[in-house]
């Protein structure tokens, strides 16, 4: 059986860090936090069993293995980008393209999409899953919904609310934060440590996911209590998929942001509908 490849995101983080020789600059380019980029590079090093960088106080330096790997990864990423650019969605008449994270598409848009299509039957909707800033640029979307800091989102992006973190679990399991497994989305500034600082207690997660959406999915299936953005949770709470495991919440250092590339009636109608879903 062929050996499975490391995740593409690990290679993307390595390639950006290698070009900038900085985890911070790489994080700003690809739309992740510095800790997420650092963790993904470390995971790649552990998988390949070689160090790719020498960590120095003033920045990074590529090892010999890192220098050998960089041109191959850069060429592979360029090839993937070129292959994807040759495909289009077909006719663009009355087509509204929305680039968004999988978490938002899964937990906010998809459950309520029949309502949008019923209200606007003449709008054809194209949903694109986007993670990196390059994904958003190549998508040339009419509406973008990004996750990150306000700096990463751009000047014309509006923050989505409620931008706080809440603790959620499946109604099928019983217990408290002290007895149930805790689930954390890695690569974000807020987590169970921040919760402990604000709310009290000593919280140590035992399950980890790379997005709030995946953390929420794990909680919905009874795996424990997830600390996730309230932006994602409205419909899941309303329909009883999850429930609050604690009444407290903490502010989130990152968040979701919505922007419109070019003003149009269709984009404005989608924006108004989407914002309405967040307060239900």
pLDDT tens for each residue of 221-244: 999 999 999 999 999 999 999 999
Q: Give dist(CA 201, CA 136) in Å, integer.
A: 40
Which superfamily does 164-251 belong to? Answer: Periplasmic binding protein-like II (3.40.190.10)
Please compute the mean of the pLDDT values over residues 67-81 and round it to a whole number. 90
- The pLDDT value recorded for residue 88 is 54
pLDDT, position 59: 82
pLDDT in tens, 201-216: 888 899 998 889 999 9
DSSP-derived 3-state class of residue 33: coil
Q: What is the C-alpha separation between 219 and 181, in angstroms, rounded? A: 10
- Mean pLDDT of all residues belonging to the chain: 87
Parts of the chain belonging to CATH 1.10.10.10: 8-84
Nearest to 94 by CA among 130, 136, 125: 125
**CA dihedral of 271, 273, 275, 280, whole degrees rounded to 10:** -170
pLDDT mean over 189-209: 88
* CATH number given to 95-159+256-278: 3.40.190.10
End-to-end CA distance of the chain: 49
Dist CA 184 CA 216 (whole Å): 9
Residue 134 pLDDT > 60, yes or no?
no
Please name the fold of domain 8-84. Answer: Arc Repressor Mutant, subunit A (1.10.10)
Q: Which residue has 């598409």 as its token pair? A: 105
Other C-beta atoms closer than 10 Å to the C-beta of 49 total 7
Whole-number Å distance between alpha carbons of 270 and 228: 24
Most confident range (mean pLDDT) of 75-79, 166-170, 251-255 is 166-170
Read off the pTM. Answer: 0.68
Q: Where are the beta strands (DSSP E) in 140-224?
A: 143-148, 158-159, 164-169, 182-185, 207-209
How far is the C-alpha of 99 from the C-alpha of 122, rounded, in Å? 20
Planar angle of CA 40, 46, 48, nearest 5 degrees = 100
Per-residue pLDDT at 1 exceeds 50:
no
* pLDDT reported for residue 131: 60
pLDDT for 50: 95
């Amino acid at each position: 059986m062929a050996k499975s490849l490391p995740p593409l995101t690990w290679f993307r983080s390595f390639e950006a860090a290698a070009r900038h020789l900085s985890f911070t600059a790489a994080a700003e380019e690809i739309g992740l936090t510095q800790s997420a980029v650092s963790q993904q590079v470390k995971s790649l090093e552990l998988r390949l069993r070689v160090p790719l960088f020498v960590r120095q106080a003033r920045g990074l330096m590529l090892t010999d293995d890192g220098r050998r790997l960089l041109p191959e990864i850069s060429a592979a990423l360029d090839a993937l980008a070129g292959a994807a650019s040759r495909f289009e969605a077909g006719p663009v008449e009355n087509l509204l393209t929305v680039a968004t994270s999988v978490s938002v598409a899964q937990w906010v848009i998809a459950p309520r999409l029949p309502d949008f299509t019923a209200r606007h039957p003449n709008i054809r909707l194209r949903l694109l899953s986007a993670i990196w800033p390059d994904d958003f640029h190549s998508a040339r979307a009419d509406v973008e919904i990004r996750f990150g800091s306000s700096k990463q989102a751009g000047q014309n992006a509006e923050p989505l609310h409620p931008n706080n973190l809440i603790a959620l679990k499946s109604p099928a399991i019983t217990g408290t934060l002290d007895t149930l497994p805790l689930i954390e989305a890695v690569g974000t500034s807020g987590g169970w440590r921040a919760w402990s600082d604000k709310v009290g207690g000593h919280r140590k997660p035992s399950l980890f996911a790379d997005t709030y959406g995946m953390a929420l999915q794990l909680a919905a299936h009874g795996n424990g209590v997830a600390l996730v953005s309230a932006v994602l949770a409205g419909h899941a709470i309303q329909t009883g998929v999850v429930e609050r495991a604690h009444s407290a919440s903490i502010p989130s250092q990152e968040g979701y942001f919505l922007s419109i590339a070019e003003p149009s009636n269709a984009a404005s109608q989608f924006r108004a509908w989407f914002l309405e879903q967040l307060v239900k």
